Amino acid sequence: MDHSARVYDDITQMFPDEENPSPIVRLNRLVPEGSQLWAKLEWMNPFGSVKDRAAWAMVRDLERRGELGPRRPGRGIVEPTSGNTGLSLTAIAGMRGYPMLAVVPSKVPEEKKVLLQVLGAKVEVVPDALCPLPGSEDGTIGLAKTHAKASADRWVMPNQYANQQNVEAHLRTTGPEIWRQTQGKVTHVFTSLGTCGTVTGLSKFLKAKNPEVKVIAVQPSPGHDVPGIRNVSELDVSQLYDPKLVDEILEIDFELAYTVAAELARHEGLRAGPSSGLIFEGARRTARKTPVACGVMIFCDDVFKYASNMLKHVPGLVAEP
Amino acid sequence: MADYANPEVLVSTDWLRQNLKTPNVRVVEIDVDPKLYAAGHIPGAVGWDWTTQLNDQVKRDIISKEDFEKLNSEAGIKNTDTIIIYGDSSNWFAAFGFWLYKLYGHKDIRLLNGGRAKWLNEEGAPLTTEVPKFERSQYKVSSVDGSLRAKVSEVLAASEKKAPLVDVRSPDEFTGKIIAPPGMTETAQRGGHVPGATSIPWATAVTNENTFKSADELRAIYLDQKRLEPSKATIAYCRIGERSSHTWFVLKYLLGFKDVKNYDGSWTEYGNLIGVPIEKGG
C-alpha cells in the first residue's frame, strides 16, 4: 500500500501499521532539559484513538473464525467499553453491516455516549460500582457478557479484557512502528493501564528488540474520574496484564490528568486527552529525576471527547465565557 | 475446618444447575441494576426490581405484607417452595430479598453462592431472555419476624449503651469523607457514622469469585480481628440497607449470631435526622 499520496479506497486502509504509523511528535517546551520525549498521537487513527488497533484486530479475528459475517447473519457486536473501543468497533461494525451494542459505565462523558449513537451504536448505560467489588466483573462486563451468552444468536463479545488480539495488535503494529520511528533508539515507553493490551504488546515487542527499554505505566490515583484507564487496584478485570512486563508504575493525582492535558494544548499545540495528560506528567517526573534519552509516550486520544470533564476539572474554564 | 453455622441457606451453582427442573424449587433474581434480568437470566427465574417491587412506592418502607403476598402469588410462588435468590454485585440485593423473605416468614429460602457473576462465568451454565409464566398461587404471610429489623430508636439505644453496631459501607463513607458514593441519588445531609460503630466493609466477607469466604476466614475477620461476639445483640447498617443485608446474612446464618438485625433505614435515614449524634473520622 502506497501511503505517500494519502489516497485511499476505503477508510480501513488507513489503519496504522509499520508502513503507515501514527505520528510521533517531539515535545519542545514542557520537557526538562537533557531529555527527549515524543508523543505518539493515536488520535490520528481513523476513529480517533489507540483502540482502533485492537478493535480492527478483534473484528477481523471474529470474521476469520466465522463468529461474525455471512455464516452468522444478523449477529452483531456487544462490548463493554468506556468509549474508545466502542467508537472504533461501532465504526467498523457500521461499515460491515453488523449491529453494535455498546455497554458503558455511567461515568463516561456525555460526548462519548452521544458519539457512539452518532456512529450507530445502541448504548446501554450501567451505574458505576458503589464501592469497589472484589470480584473480577464490573457492571459493564457483566451486562455485555449476559447479552452475549443469553442471546448468542444476536451478539458476540470480542471482550477486549481477555482477547489476545488486543495484545497482538500492538505486537504487530505499535511496537514495530515505534522501533522504526526512533530508529531503535527508544529508551523509555510511557503508557497507561486499561485493558493492558497496549502495555503488554508494546513491552513484549520492544523488550525482545532491546531488553534495556524501560516500560513505565502511569496510573491515576484511586477514586479517579479518568475514563478508560485504571489504577492497578482495579486491574482484576483485565486478563492481559502481566506485571513482569512493566518496569515501574507511577501514580499521579488524577486531577492532574486534566490540568496537564490543558497545559499540553496551550504550550505544545497538542490536543491531548486526559489520559495523555497523566502519561506526560509521569514522563516529566521521570525525566526530572534522570534524563530520558528517547522516551515515547502513548497519547491514547484527544481532548474533544472530554470537554465536559475538562470543564469540571480545569480551573478557569467556563461553558459560556 | 469448621462449617458455616447454617450451611443449608447457601446453594452452589452446581446444585442449582442440577435442580433447575426440580418441582418446588423456584429461582428469583434481584439485581442492583434491574436491566440485567431482561438481558439474560437463569432459566425459570423471575426477576424483581428492588426500586419498584420491593419498596413501597409512596412512603419510604419495604413493601407491605399484602404487597409481598401479591408479588409472590403473581409469580406463582408457594409458601412451601424452596426459593433460590441470586443477583449482581455479590448478591447485595439478593441478600436484601433473602432478608425480606425471612422477615415475612418464608420457611425455605437460600442464596446462590457467588451470585450472578459466578453463574455467568461458568462454562455451559444456561442463560435465557425468556420470561417464564407461572400459574398464580395463593401466597400467604402468616407471621412477620420483626426481630430481624432494627428501627432507628434501636440504633440510637445501641449506640448509647455501646452495643455492637457494624457499619458495612466503604471506609470513606464511614469516616465522613464522602456522604455517599459518587452518582448515587439516595444520600444524606451529613456524613460520618453512628457513634461507636465498627467499620467492616461488606466486601470483607467475599472472595474474588464473589462467593462467601470460608467459616474459618469469616470467624478470623468478624470475631478475632473485629471482636464481634455471636452472643451479643448486633445491628448492621449501610446506606440504604442492601449491603447491610449481606453482612446481616453473614453474621446470622454463616456465623450463627443469635440476635442480629438489619437497619434498613441505614445512613439515608440516620444521616438526615436532626439532632442525632454523629461521629466522624476513623
Among all chains, which residue has been given the C-alpha cell 445512613?
A: B267
Residues of chain A with pLDDT under 70: 128-138, 234-237
Rounded-to-integer distance, Cα A174 and Cα A51, Å:
11
Q: How far is CA B52 from CA A38, A56, B47, B106, in A?
A: 54, 42, 12, 21
Model pLDDT for residues A46-84, shown as the tens digit of each residue: 999 999 999 999 999 999 999 999 999 999 999 998 889
Among all chains, which residue has been given the C-alpha cell 512486563?
A: A245
Domains in chain A: how many in total? 2
Which of A110, A139, A156 represents a domain boundary (last residue)?
A156
Model pLDDT for residues B130-174, shown as the tens digit of each residue: 999 999 999 999 999 999 999 999 999 999 999 999 999 999 999
Residues A152 and A68 in one domain: yes
Which of A100, A132, A156 represents a domain boundary (last residue)?
A156
Residues A239 and A279 in one domain: yes
Q: How far is CA B192 from CA A118, B238, B261, in A?
A: 43, 11, 21
Interface pTM (ipTM) of the complex? 0.87
Contact between chains at A135 and B41 (C-beta distance less than 8 A)? no
Rounded-to-integer distance, Cα B174 and Cα B107, Å:
35
Contact between chains at A134 and B120 (C-beta distance less than 8 A)? no
Asked if B181 is an interface residue toward chain A (Cβ–Cβ < 8 A), one would say: yes
Phi-psi region of A119 (alpha: psi -120 to 50; beta: other; left: phi over 0): alpha
CATH number given to B7-145:
3.40.250.10
CATH topology of domain B149-270: Oxidized Rhodanese; domain 1 (3.40.250)
Residues of A whose CB is below 8 A from B40: 146-147, 149-151
For residues B99-128, give the mean pLDDT.
96
Q: How far is CA A203 from CA A51, A214, A241, A303, B159, in A?
A: 17, 8, 11, 26, 55
pLDDT of amino acid A127: 77
pLDDT of amino acid A131: 47
Grid coordinates representing A168?
497482538
Q: Determine what percent of chain B is predicted with pLDDT higher than 70.
A: 100
pLDDT of amino acid A9: 96
Contact between chains at B183 and A107 (C-beta distance less than 8 A)? yes
A57: amino acid identity, one letter: A
pLDDT of amino acid A129: 57
For residues B72-76, give the mean pLDDT.
98
- Optimal mutation site among B29, B31, B35, interface A, most CBs of chain A within 10 A: B35
pLDDT of amino acid B209: 85
Cβ(A60)–Cβ(A96) below 8 Å? no
Q: Indicate if B149-270 has the same CATH topology as B7-145.
A: yes
Name the minimum distance, in Å, from the CA of A261 to any CA of chain B. Answer: 24
Show which residues of B are catalytic: 238
Q: Determine what percent of chain B is predicted with pLDDT higher than 90.
A: 93
Which of A123, A156, A189 represents a domain boundary (last residue)?
A156
For residues B21-35, give the mean pLDDT.
94
User: Residue B282: pLDDT above 90?
Assistant: no
Contact between chains at B90 and A133 (C-beta distance less than 8 A)? yes
pLDDT of amino acid B73: 98
For residues B97-118, give the mean pLDDT.
97
